[in-house]
Structure formats: C-alpha cells, structure tokens
Structure 1
C-alpha cells in the first residue's frame, strides 16, 4: 500500500512540472504593430504564434509596406520560425525569410539538422555547428519577453544568423512610461549590450510576451509600436 502511494506521488510530481511549464510559456497570440522609419509611417506588421503540432510552434512576422517608398515599391516581408520550447527558450527548428519588392527578391532558409545548422541565403550556402538553446533572430523578441516576465535583468541568447551563432546579450537599462496606439504602459527598457547595433525594446512583461515598442537602427532605422494584442 505504501509503495502504491509513493508511486502515485512520484507520478504526480513528474506531471506537475509539465503542467506548470505549459502554463508558463506563450501558446498562441496575435500582435499587430505600426512600422515607422525615421519617425514617419512605413507599414504594418502582424506577429502570430500558434501550435504547429508535435510539440512545435510556428511564429510568423509579416510586414507590409503601406506608406512612402515601401508602398511605392510594393515591399513586403515575411519571417516564419518553427521552434520547440526548451524550458523557457524557443529553441530553433527552422527559419524562413522572404522579401518581395518590385526591384528585388530575397530569401533565407535556416534548418537545424541534428548538430548542424544549414543555411541557404539566396544562392549561397553555409553550414555551422548548432548550439543547445539556440534561437533565431525572428523569435528573439519573444525569448526576451519570457525572460523579463521571469524577472531577469540580463539575458544572453545564442542566435543563429547567416554564417555563425552569435551570443547576443541584453540588459534592462531602466523603467519608462511609453505611449503607443495600444495605450500607455509602464515598461522596462532593454538594450543590446554585446555590440553597438542600436537595438532597444520596451516591454510590459506582466501583460505581453512581446514588446510594446521596438527600435532598431540596423536594417533601416525602424520602429515598431504595438496597436493590438490578442491571445495569451
């Protein structure tokens, strides 16, 4: 009898962390942003997280040019990531980038195959060693949001990029009141610290797993401001 009770208790102890884990990480949501360049309207972006089955998730960031030169050129870009939650980290499985404009098209595919990362960047191919807990650039804001919700003041992530894994480091630099189309929020500001890449993000981690505002100079001096968030 005592053995049966102990076995039942042990089984329950094993089951509880799994249930707690499922509740601890985002499962699905849709976030909509305005995209600005140099302070002027440029377009809109929609981020969607959903289950892809078999313990994997799909995270898509679709951007559409609706104003200025981006609209004139018909510029649209989509980043789609497949990942599996490894603890609190969205560990990369695959990544696809597609950019279409009237004058140019660009694609990049990243696939984790065992201990190797295979990259196809337009017509160029690269490969390098995978790292446990590795994420991609698309899911980085999500990984940061989960870390901040857990109370972390600093975070470092191995990020799969074109030809290598970058150890990107971030730190909370203070608290700020931010007003965006979705409302006014008491936020924590996060800056990238391992290099001067002009990355700043403002989170309300108790409310959302993604930033309410993100500014990045690398890639065109872009700013994203949250318009609407739906999900959990």
Structure 2
C-alpha cells in the first residue's frame, strides 16, 4: 500500500528475522477499501484487490478515485496493477503498471521483468537494469511487509524496483500503538522506514490483516490512508 498515492517505494530483496512460510500460507485473495486523506481532509477512496490469475501468478490492484477537493475537481484517479508470483513469503515482481488520470497532467509508468532484466518505461523514458531475485515493486511492498510482520519479523529490508535501479529500503517495528480507523479500533504495531528521512509510517495488525490499517506519509503530499473494510472470499 502504496500504496499508490503514498509512494511507499518500489523493489525487494528480502531480509528478515523470522522463519520462512510455505506458499500455501501467504494471502491468496482479498479486497480492502480505504479512505484517502490529504492534510487531514477527505480526498478520495482506495480499493485494493488480490486474486489468483493462473500459472502461479497473482494480480494485485490498487485503484484510487478522487472524491473531494482538487482531486475531484480535476477528475484525478490512479490505477496500479501488479502481477507477481509468491517466492516464499515475497510477492516477486512479474510486471507493474501505473496510470494517473487527470484533466491536468496524466502520467503512465510500466515495469516488466524479462529474464534477469527489468524494463522500465516512465512516461516515454526507457530504462533497463538487472533484476534481483525476490524483487518487489512499490504497489506490492506494503503486502510483502505485512506478510513479514505476520510471521514475527521486527525488521525487513527490501530491494524495490525503481525507475532506473533497484533501491534497498529498510523498515522496522518502532512501537505498539492503539489506532482508530473506520474499520475499527486496533492494537497495532507502527512500522517506520529507516533507510531515509521520509516521514513514512504504517500501522499493521499482523494477526488480522496482511495490509496496513493506516498509512501516513508527509513526503509527497501529507497523505493518509485509513482502512474502511477488509474481506476474503
């Protein structure tokens, strides 16, 4: 989560202090919805979905629609669609497509893994760089972190596929805190990004959900996502 508007980051080689889990124990299918706030004011709605699509692959989507303020005025919406395979507990990237639609300035980005190479097209600018085993991208990063926390990790380092290279990102459990969101009140763990000063925080309830119940990021727009509902088939 990424989660879409939050720019939580992109690719992942995965290091954690927890035991490995089998593929059967990782998430297979769910839907989660969020309220999106900017500066504490309602801005939009987000919907995450995970579903198997055959041949061992899964599709993970994050769609955000502006419902208030400038986001609504400009008809802003984002769509992120990831295809991945579970490599242990890591959603290893196969492809990723990002589209920002608006009457002002639309943007598009696409990442495709071809063999041992990542092909990235960023608004018509092409880059390629070596792929790392276990690499994730920014859309699936919060899901990978949620699975790690569920299995006891107190910290995790991911290699995230960016625009021009794989970027290592490190996260750690910083505190246990109570958090209230539309989906309810929870005893959550707060996870902070520690490799850079980015003011990124995510609150997870690992035993209940593989995705955050809340995300806050000041860098890039002072945005917050709060969980409204979560369901499984």
Task: Determine helix, strand or coil for the equivalent of 1:194.
Answer: coil
Find the aligned partners of 2:51 and 2:91 in 1 and give their Cα distance.
13
Q: Hey, what does 2:163 align to over in structure 1?
A: 162
Deviation, 1:221, is 1.3
Q: Hey, what does 1:71 align to over in structure 2?
A: 72
Deviation, 1:45, is 0.2
Q: Hey, what does 2:31 align to over in structure 1?
A: 30
Q: Hey, what does 1:83 align to over in structure 2?
A: 84
Kindly provide the CA deviation profile for residues 61-95 of structure 1, in whole angstroms up to 9, marking residues without a partner as x. 00000001100010000010000000000000000
Deviation, 1:219, is 2.3
Deviation, 1:218, is 2.6
Structure ID, larger Rg = 1
Find the aligned partners of 1:165 and 1:202 in 2 and give their Cα distance.
25
Task: Determine helix, strand or coil for the equivalent of 2:27.
Answer: coil
Kindly provide the CA deviation profile for residues 84-139 of structure 1, in whole angstroms up to 9, marking residues without a partner as x. 00000000000000000011110000000011000001110000000011000000
Find the aligned partners of 2:28 and 2:220 in 1 and give their Cα distance.
29
Task: Determine helix, strand or coil for the equivalent of 1:74.
Answer: coil
Q: Hey, what does 2:208 align to over in structure 1?
A: 207
Deviation, 1:194, is 0.4
| Alignment TM-score, normalising by the size of structure 2 | 0.90
- Which deviates further from its counterpart, 182-191 or 22-31? 22-31
Q: Hey, what does 2:229 align to over in structure 1?
A: 228
Q: Is residue 186 of structure 2 the alignment partner of residue 172 of structure 1? A: no
Deviation, 1:58, is 0.4
Runs of 4+ in 1 over 2 A off after TM superposition: 20-23
| Alignment TM-score, normalising by the size of structure 1 | 0.90
Q: Hey, what does 2:190 align to over in structure 1?
A: 189
CA RMSD, Structure 1 to Structure 2 (Å): 1.0
More helix by share: 1
Q: Hey, what does 1:52 align to over in structure 2?
A: 53
Task: Determine helix, strand or coil for the equivalent of 1:23.
Answer: helix
